[in-house]
Amino acid sequence: MSSLPLAVPRRRRRSVRHTLDLRVSPYAYVAPFFLLFCAFGLFPLVYTAWVSLHEWSLLSETQTFIGLDNYSTLLSDGYFWNATFNTLSIGVLSTVPQLLLAIWLAHLLNRRLRFQTLFRVALLLPNVTSVVAVVVIFSQLFGRDFGLINWVLSWFGAGNIDWAAGTATSHLALSVMIMWRWTGYNALIFLAAMQAVPRELYEAATLDGASGFTQLRRITIPMIRPTIVFVVIVSTIGAMQIIAEPLLFGQSSGGGGGIATGGPDRQFQTLALFVYEQGFANSTFDFGYASAASWLMFLAVVIVALVNFLITHRVKGGVI
């Protein structure tokens, strides 16, 4: 009888600890991510916005507040719009064929094949290869005088193409490099989604005489549509941030121009390369102008993310 009054407070303390464990511990588990995000994601974002409102150069100790002048100058800068066009052009040329090829490769690997694991590992190898090695090798393949691509095209009567000199040809060459690196990676994502599709659907389609292409079109693609939307948006965002390939292609091809100009006529300068040029590669080290360009890039990415959300919402709602 004497232990009963002590048992009540003990049960209350246990209940409080249980409630705290249920309600507080999830926040403690995710807190490290958000702390790191605030330090390395949110703070640089806010600080970049603050820098973009100033005339800010590494060569000067004073920074003058100029409001939105950097943004207004940027929107009237022909080089900025040229970089925007190049980014969109390279993004479309690399993303669309890349995703179609990735879906087709995943569809082939989703069948019963010998050495299936070997093929899947081989798909990932281009992605783990150094981007420097990829660009150097492909710059040799696309060489004007001794490149393998021009040698093959000469069989069909084509002359020596200077791939790095033209806008369309340089975009095509860069798109091939990007496709080489990311097609296998995306194919593995599609393959993981395809393996969740019930096998009974394929067996029923086979009994009905449906070909492999028909099964891909009528069963596979509708069943993995959310994954397709995710990969399309992620690939689009990645395409907007391309910098290593054009930077190294300009150096490896020997086409002339500055290190960050994307060729002598800026024919393959992307937005990320434009930001790098303004901040680090020109004589003024104009951080304010580069920060304004970075923020416009960020807004573009936000717009793409919103499109992603709307499309995903429509897919879940069965509208598409």
pLDDT digits (tens, 9 = 90+) for 114-146: 888 888 888 888 888 888 888 889 888 888 877
Does an H or E element contain 55, and which?
A: strand 54-55
Q: For residue 15, is pLDDT > 80?
A: no
Query: What pLDDT is stored for residue 320 in this prediction?
Result: 46
CA distance 299 to 110: 38
Neighbouring-strand partners of residue 55: 64
Residue 72 banded pLDDT, cuts 50, 70, 90: very high
pLDDT digits (tens, 9 = 90+) for 137-186: 988 888 887 788 888 888 888 778 888 888 899 999 999 999 998 999 99
- Top pLDDT among 249 and 292 is at 292
Other beta carbons within 10 Å of 181: 20
Query: What pLDDT is stored for residue 263 in this prediction?
Result: 82
CA distance 116 to 109: 7
Task: Name the burial class of residue 27, with classes exposed (0-12), middle (13-18) and buried (19+) by CB atoms within 10 angstroms of its CB.
Answer: exposed
Shortest CA distance to 47 belongs to which of 247, 301, 285, 288? 288
CA distance 110 to 32: 38
pTM here?
Answer: 0.82
Phi, psi (deg, nearest 5) at residue 260: -120, 15
Residue 229 banded pLDDT, cuts 50, 70, 90: confident
Query: What pLDDT is stored for residue 210 in this prediction?
Result: 85
Query: What pLDDT is stored for residue 186 in this prediction?
Result: 92
Query: What pLDDT is stored for residue 313 in this prediction?
Result: 63
- Top pLDDT among 315 and 117 is at 117
Q: For residue 291, is pLDDT > 90?
A: yes
Strands annotated E in 129-283: none
Q: Which stretch of 33-47, 218-232, 242-256, 273-287 has the lowest confidence by average pLDDT?
A: 242-256
Q: For residue 2, is pLDDT > 60?
A: no
Q: For residue 4, is pLDDT > 60?
A: no
